[in-house]
Structure 1
Amino acid sequence: MAKILGIDTSNYTTSVAVVKDGEILYDARKLLNVEQGQRGLRQSDALFQHVKNLPDLLNSPFTKGIDAVCVSTRPRPVEGSYMPVFKAGESIASSIAYTSGVPIYKTSHQEGHLEGACRSINFSYKEFIAVHMSGGTTEILKVSKDNDYSVEIIGGTKDISIGQFIDRIGVAMGLSFPAGKDIDELAIKPCDTNLRIPSKVDGFYFNFSGQETLGLKYIEEGYNKEEIAKAVMICISKTLEKVFNNLLKTNELPILLVGGVASSIFLKCYFKEKYKDIIFFSDNKYASDNAAGCAFIGLEKYKR
């Protein structure tokens, strides 16, 4: 009955989780503070906030008596992948492992997303396509899992991510960062509008910087927030739909949507009946940044 501590320190969330066998005993997260009007944080500021947040999140009876620690130490499972923010989690995880006399396992933020998403909906496919959509990442991945994840980028954005597109438009409209939830809520409101932002797709790749420019132009022209939010989410939906259609021409693998954008109510409604039993969304709670995926990866490594 192994008890594993997971830690993830991403660009905008400090996360700690504890799992015991197949159950999540503890799941604590704290969003990093971004000042109103800003579109993100410098790595140094984010790292400082993680260092402040981690002691509070780790101060729980559930984090005592652990058998191992698993921590995300880099964004992606490839050589050279690096961001300073992950040093906060790696440092404290190493200290906990040393003082507790337990093993430490290292993984990537992306693998944590994949594991958390798979566990959240009992998604047991060993080979699949993952669409990782978050504040700084939009990648189409061919994934296989034996003991560990093997991840190959086969598509994605050529410029800004879906999350950046949403956040930049949202902040320009006066919304708080990150703006995903507010944009989503505005987009699902009844709104009779023909305002559109065209989508551009080339195979499994696409762009959003030109779409951002058009969205900012609509703001300057005085269109209301509901119209612009709906135009943004329709643009994203149409882009993904074209990519999905292209994917299904060349393979029959299921498609799993992970990352914070995968919690969008608008996207789920848009795709609800279009690709039944082909496209799967992570459970909302584990679409966004979390440490449960890291903890489950640690559990699997511990059992080997």
Structure 2
Amino acid sequence: MKNQNIYILAIESSCDDTSAAVMQNDITLSNVVATQKIHEEYGGVVPELASRAHQQNIVPVIHQALAKAKIDKNQLSAIAFTRGPGLMGSLLVGTSFAKSMALGLQIPLIEVNHMQAHILAHFIKEEDFNSPGFPFLALTISGGHTQIVLVRDYFDMEILGETLDDAVGEAFDKTAKIIGLPYPGGPLVDKLAQNGNAHAFPFPKPKVKGLDFSFSGLKTSILYFIQRETAKNPNFIEEHKEDICASIQYTIIEILMSKLKKAVKETGIKQIAIGGGVSANSGIRKALKNAESELGWTTYIPKFEYCTDNAAMIGIVGYLKYREEIFSDQSISAKPRYVIP
């Protein structure tokens, strides 16, 4: 098995992006993502609309992934898919398609935990990118999750801390909505923050025990602040938008970094890998790079396309599981609440 090429077709459908990828061992041959624009007018993901869009997108996306990879479906070694966590309707589309295709081709089926995949995306082979050695700490930050994970091996992970309420991506999007930015607001906050004063408006940082996070209190304090200031000056947001965004982003990054520093102190591990859509944030990337020179950390930041939800990260887990012959049977079902095993 080690001497032959393993071809994995991977399917990701946990939220509102339909993605398919083809992996040749640990190398990405194709990674196709269909983004659903329909949710923008609602200011957030509508689960029913998301699952319907997945049904429309999944066949053309898989067809395109196979064509780009120049691979015939009969060459595939296995089908890997996101079992969870995620939106139930969205997961069902990917799960049922993966099961049917694996059954039809009579090849193994491999279930993947979405959050585990964000971490193991660091092991996709890329030029000019070195994978972390074990053990390392992973900070997984996305629209639905915020976790610090101790990674001892590919399939030996322990969650050291996680959010008690809102995820960090949710905090970005909801505070963006408060100041009138369209969905998804996180990238817009990042863009505006780059020209603002991060210390213009100090926001409170929640006091949470251990390595857990909380962002709901920050969101509420920003809401009250905006209401108070706009009552005095109706043009307050427009006149201070860049400073507001910079101050919000600074506070969120300070919360993340303080917990990460605590985790490093407690574990003695200075290898830090980030993953999830929010890891594309320029402020977080800069803070981690500063920690390399100031604190002696070694940080690992994947390519942008492997930060957001994508099937290549599902594919690398599929490849690693295939090597160990960790397969699923046809009785497997989607699992919207699925913690890292």
Please report the TM-score for the alignment, with normalisation by the length of structure 2: 0.80
Contact 1:187–1:226 (CA under 8 A) maintained in structure 2: yes
**1:68 matches 2:78:** yes
Match of 1:226 in 2: 242
- What secondary structure does 2:160 align onto? strand
Match of 1:105 in 2: 110
TM-aligned CA deviation for residue 106 of structure 1: 0.9
CA separation of 1:200 and 1:53: change in aligned 2, threshold 3 A = same
Q: Which runs of 5+ in 1 are unaligned?
A: 76-80
Identity among equivalent pairs (%): 26
Q: Distance in 1 between matches of 2:197 and 2:251?
A: 16
Task: Please give the per-residue CA displacement for 1:40-94, whole angstroms capped at 9, x wherever unaligned.
Answer: 223332221111111121123235232211111112xxxxx98342111111111
**Equivalent of residue 167 in structure 1, options 151, 169, 173:** 173
**Equivalent of residue 129 in structure 1, options 127, 137, 144:** 137
Contact 1:218–1:228 (CA under 8 A) maintained in structure 2: no
- What secondary structure does 2:148 align onto? strand
**1:212 matches 2:216:** no
Q: Distance in 2 between matches of 1:156 and 1:205?
A: 5
**Equivalent of residue 279 in structure 1, options 272, 290, 299:** 299
Contact 2:198–2:246 (CA under 8 A) maintained in structure 1: no
Structure in which a larger fraction of residues adopt helix = 2
RMSD across aligned positions (CA): 2.1
Compare CA radii of gyration and give the structure with the larger one. Answer: 2
Q: Distance in 2 between matches of 1:192 and 1:232?
A: 8
CA separation of 1:108 and 1:144: change in aligned 2, threshold 3 A = same
Please report the TM-score for the alignment, with normalisation by the length of structure 1: 0.89
Q: Distance in 1 between matches of 2:163 and 2:134?
A: 25
Structure in which a larger fraction of residues adopt strand = 1
- What letter corresponds to residue 131 of structure 1 in structure 2? L
Contact 1:24–1:292 (CA under 8 A) maintained in structure 2: yes
- What secondary structure does 2:286 align onto? helix
- What letter corresponds to residue 305 of structure 2 in structure 1? K
Match of 2:233 in 1: none
Contact 1:113–1:290 (CA under 8 A) maintained in structure 2: no
Q: Which runs of 5+ in 2 are unaligned?
A: 230-235, 325-341
CA separation of 1:82 and 1:153: change in aligned 2, threshold 3 A = farther
